[in-house]
Structure 1
Amino acid sequence: MQYRFLCLLLPLVLAFVFKKELKQYRLSGYAQGTDYSIMYYAADSLVTKQGIDSLLNEIDLSMSLYKKRSLINQFNAAQSSVKTDRFINEVLKRSFEINLDTKGIFDITVAPLVQAWGFGPKAIQTEPSPATIKSIMPCIGMKNLRLKNGLLTKLKPCIQIDLNGIAQGYSVDLIAAYLEQKGIKHYVAELGGEIRILGPKPNGEAMKIGIEGPDKDGTPVIRHIAAINTGAITTSGNYRKFHQSGKKKISHLIDAKTGYPLDNEMISVTVYANDAITADGYDNALMAMHLKDAIAFVESRKNLEAYFVYHQKDGKVADTLTTGFKKLITP
């Protein structure tokens, strides 16, 4: 009986002795016009910068407007249809879902408007005239797109798409999938401020994420700390990327319904969701809503939370959180 007990105990002892301590590893680089950083815990260095760069380059060849022969540019130049790849197909499917859920606020056909206002691949120094905007508007609207059996079709030759409002979140999800395929179970992956988390840390502590927003002078600062063990956090804001026209700031976020840059009380919206493609898709749409409507929208949906920074009527900067987001914030 004693011998049998020792036989059962021996594998447990050996497993304890030979189990390697998990160490923290970090990677950083530049891709998709921005920086990325990855922190993970593992027994050995399982991920290389070359592997991450290769993955992100593959995504760019599909969805980057800055790669001349990318698939998205091929579609934008086409008269009718192109065959999609797995990257653009997955992003398009989610885009159609979010477009429907937001009643057209989220719209990937804004590419001609984004370019006209000087935020596209081609450098433009002057603001578009009302006549120019009016001429572009018939080419806006996801009702003019069809996705079926891996074929993306435009119903008008002038339709062009811009996936910048959702593709970066999707890229972070792909990085997360890549890490998990390597057997990594504790990580924070960030690309251009879009974050995907899997925790806790090996010691049981939750992953801590700084939630950024502008201070009263418009300077980006960390306003809250969130403790998260799984999910994604993304942010959309108009305090970093804009054009100055006299005393007026022109936002890079364009309203697909009017053709003009957003001009409401919103300064930034940070969204928490199960994955980054979802959070990234909704953060821009919430930026286009008025605060009261945006809060009601988020509160009525499962697995979606948000933190808002906005201008009060007196011009002062204020912030508020949905019920679920408050639970993520550390005291």
Structure 2
Amino acid sequence: MQTLSGLAQGTTWHVTVWRQGGVDIASLRRRINTEFERLDGLLSNYRDDSVIEQFNAAAVTAPIAVGEEIVRLIEAARAVSEASAGCYDLTVKPLFDLWGFTGESLTVPDPAVLARTRERVGFRHLVVLPPDKLRKVLPGLRVDLSSIAQGYSVGRIAMLLEAAGIVDYIVEIGGELQTRGRKPDGGHWRIGVERPLPGERSVEKALTIKREAQLAIMTSGTYRHYYDAQGRRYSHVLDARTGRPITHDTVSVTVLDDDPTRADAWSTALLCLGHAAGLRAADQAGIAALFIADENGRLWEHVSTAWSALQDVEVQ
């Protein structure tokens, strides 16, 4: 078993692989780095020259070619947005900027300014023109792919491994991951779900992956990213319906799914909704989800019906 690691997409990545007869690690690393560079050039909201940022910078309402991959991501995100009643939305970037979440300090916006900014947010202002074009209804619309791009990237790196004949692996980017197969000794992969407490690094749940097919494990949380201002703590997760940070007590959501892209979007959407509304949405969509809530200083777990019915994942 061999592990490669590096930096990409503003975080760390790790790829653990093995194959009978060995793996050409040097060649594999080159392919992985090349794919990360390609994905960065498409999806990064931190590069002015990326395809998505060029789309954001274009203050026009004419169709713009962005490529089939971005169009598919937008369509996948729109489906999850609709299932979350609009809580999750890729066009919230103006609200993030307004609250100061893209900087080092938070500024609680004036209600009138917040209301005007909300008018510029919403999937209704973004038109998909398959196979490879998007059109803005409002010229100032901006799309932030960060809540879905990492899951998509996990899937792309996994596809690269499989194209090289590797079917036993873990791909992890910034804590988001996908597994397939087993360890060299025939044992199962074991994955830890972090206890969602600020300043602490411990395991809340251990997952033993007994399936050999692909499985994505994606977690979204509020416990690492928040701002304290005027005696209050503000989550970095914004509800697109209100334009304000979420206020419920759910601090972490883990989603298991065959599709890493869908799992990434759903973990964010369910965190936005919180466990009360999130459980209803997850059950309606058949999503396996673990919600962890901080209720008066104690952690409580809530699970969807699909999570309770898992047969090939042992949860401890």
On whether the aligned pair clears a TM of 0.5, the verdict is yes
Q: Work out the CA distance in 2 between the residues paired with 1:147 and 1:96.
A: 10
Match of 2:70 in 1: 88
* 1:223 aligned partner, one-letter code: E
Match of 1:144 in 2: 125
Match of 2:243 in 1: 259
| 2:46 is the alignment partner of 1:69 | no
Q: Work out the CA distance in 2 between the residues paired with 1:117 and 1:54.
A: 35
Match of 2:293 in 1: 310
| 2:50 is the alignment partner of 1:50 | no
The aligned runs of 1:76-115 (5 Å cut-off) are 76-78=56-58, 79-80=60-61, 81-115=63-97
* Native 8 Å contact 2:253 2:289 kept in 1: yes
* 2:120 aligned partner, one-letter code: C
Deviation at 1:38, TM superposition (A): 0.6
Match of 2:152 in 1: 170
Deviation at 1:186, TM superposition (A): 0.4
Q: Work out the CA distance in 1 between the residues paired with 2:171 and 2:193.
A: 15
Deviation at 1:68, TM superposition (A): 1.1
SS in 2 for 1:289: helix
Change (3 A) 1:73 1:123: farther
Deviation at 1:246, TM superposition (A): 3.9
Q: Work out the CA distance in 2 between the residues paired with 1:94 and 1:295.
A: 20
The aligned runs of 1:173-322 (5 Å cut-off) are 173-215=155-197, 219-228=200-209, 229=211, 230-302=214-286, 304-312=287-295, 314-322=296-304
Identity %: 31
* Native 8 Å contact 1:98 1:281 kept in 2: yes
* Native 8 Å contact 1:146 1:154 kept in 2: yes
Match of 1:15 in 2: none
* 2:289 aligned partner, one-letter code: A
| 2:15 is the alignment partner of 1:32 | no
Q: Work out the CA distance in 2 between the residues paired with 1:301 and 1:145.
A: 24
SS in 1 for 2:179: strand
What do residues 122-178 of structure 1 show as CA deviations (whole Å, max 9, x unaligned)? 666533322321221110110111111311001011211111111110010101111
Any gaps of 5 or more consecutive residues in structure 1? 1-23
Change (3 A) 1:135 1:300: closer
* 1:235 aligned partner, one-letter code: T
SS in 1 for 2:167: coil
Deviation at 1:315, TM superposition (A): 4.0
Match of 1:132 in 2: 113
SS in 1 for 2:219: strand
Any gaps of 5 or more consecutive residues in structure 2? none
What do residues 256-281 of structure 1 show as CA deviations (whole Å, max 9, x unaligned)? 00111111111110111111101110
Change (3 A) 1:208 1:55: same
Say which structure, 1 or 2, has more relative contact order (CA 8 Å, 6+ apart): 2
Q: Work out the CA distance in 2 between the residues paired with 1:137 and 1:292.
A: 25
* Native 8 Å contact 1:59 1:87 kept in 2: no
* Native 8 Å contact 2:106 2:229 kept in 1: no
Q: Work out the CA distance in 2 between the residues paired with 1:46 and 1:279.
A: 30
Q: Work out the CA distance in 1 between the residues paired with 2:201 and 2:232.
A: 19
* Native 8 Å contact 2:290 2:303 kept in 1: yes
Q: Work out the CA distance in 2 between the residues paired with 1:275 and 1:104.
A: 21
**Which segments of structure 1 move beyond 6 Å, counting only runs of 4 or more?**
none
What do residues 36-56 of structure 1 show as CA deviations (whole Å, max 9, x unaligned)? 001011222235323212211
User: CA RMSD for the aligned pairs?
Assistant: 1.9
Q: TM-score, normalised by structure 1?
A: 0.86
